[in-house]
Amino acid sequence: MISFFEHFFEVQKRVHQMLFSWLPFSMGDVLYILLGIFLFFYLISLFKKNKRNNAIIKIMIIINSFYFVYQIFWGMLYFQTPIIKKLSTQNEPEISKAKELALRYLEKCKATRAKVHEDSKGVFMISNLKAVQHEILHQQSQLPPYISDKKATEVSSIKPSLFKNVMNFTGILGYYNPFTAEAQYNSELPASFIPFTTAHESSHQLGFAREQEANFVGYLIGINSSNTDLRYSTEFFTLKSLLRFIVEEDPEFVKSVLSHYSPAMKRDRAYEKKFVMDHQGWLDDFFGFTNNLFLKSNQQEGAVTYSYFIDLLLNYEK
């Protein structure tokens, strides 16, 4: 049955991208807005006695229909064979190996950061976002066959979210819409986030449902890219993920690595931290809580752990 849904995903993805990829805006976001309007209308009707029963029925029909279509288009892909089982070694991640890799990616980041553009404040800026997106599509076809036998999309359906102003306060960097096969990203993010976030969401378009597996496939897409913007964003994400994994065991090592960031990397890190601090609040906590529940209900560890990505990364490096 899982194989059936994997093949069905390929068919519906092609159809949806043919229908919606040419639009300059996110059709999936428009559908979410219309869904919200309908639900709001029926919720208001709950306060009217003569319409209450009918409103309850309509709400349940909408929610169940939405959930059913979601499961058919996307939810069943969470039961695919985990990528970790496709790797030749499946050892538990070792802190010593993570430290060794962190030092390697520190040097990679320094070297790549020196090749990219920056704005008047000395912060990383993307020179050509379209070029990044086309490179992502190209790199999808270069993935190791023992990890991915999925068909590269070959269609650019990566779009800025219509909800970017709200997303700033939610901690959500991007998302995949299974109803339209579009990948959305928050265009107001610090530039250092955007290329890797786009690669991550494009991994969902390939059919990798689990969040940390999408991170890993995004890593494979970006790490060998000739596009320096994409490669720097990927290397920076990888370094930060390794440091988050290490910090509980050896905070002094993490402090040492951070102190050895290049001046340009320190500016990028400061800008990222400022963005996060400026947009913290109850909405961020709420979406963090609900996203955590969503991930755990779909065969995943939750929103706060990077351990599975580190598992994949260290085993792949071996």
> Does pLDDT of 286 surpass 60?
no
20-43: per-residue pLDDT in tens?
A: 999 999 999 999 999 999 888 888
Q: How far is residue 83's CA from residue 63's CA, in Å, rounded to a whole number?
A: 32
pTM of the model: 0.89
Query: Residue 5: what pLDDT?
Result: 94
Query: Residue 299: what pLDDT?
Result: 52
| Other CB atoms within 10 Å distance of the CB of residue 237 | 25
* Beta-strand runs (E) in the chain: 117-118, 124-125, 158-160, 174-177, 182-185
Q: At what angle do helices 95-113 and 263-278 cross, to 10 degrees?
A: 100
Residue with tokens 């404040």: 121
Residue 45 tokens read as: 């009707």
3-state SS, 258-311, equals HHCCCHHHHHHHHHHHHHHHHCCCHHHHHHHHHHHHHHHCCCCCCCCCCHHHHH
Give the distance, in angstroms, between the CA of residue 134 and the centroid of all CA atoms in the same chain. 17
Q: How confident is the model at residue 303 (pLDDT cuts 50, 70, 90)?
A: very low
62-104: per-residue pLDDT in tens?
A: 999 999 999 999 999 999 999 998 887 666 778 999 999 999 9
Q: Decide: helix, strand or coil at residue 26.
A: coil
> Does pLDDT of 186 surpass 90?
yes
Q: Which has the closest alpha carbon to 279: 192, 196, 167?
A: 167
230-285: per-residue pLDDT in tens?
A: 999 999 999 999 999 999 899 999 999 999 999 999 999 999 999 988 877 644 55
Residue 69 tokens read as: 């279509």
8-20: per-residue pLDDT in tens?
A: 999 999 999 999 9
Query: Residue 283: what pLDDT?
Result: 46
Q: How far is residue 174's CA from residue 233's CA, in Å, rounded to a whole number?
A: 15
51-62: per-residue pLDDT in tens?
A: 788 888 888 999
C-alpha distances (whole Å) from 177 to each of 70, 142, 182, 265 are: 10, 24, 5, 32
Burial group, residue 146, by CB count within 10 angstroms (0-12, 13-18, 19+)? exposed
Residue 121 tokens read as: 């404040």
Q: How far is residue 195's CA from residue 113's CA, in Å, rounded to a whole number?
A: 14
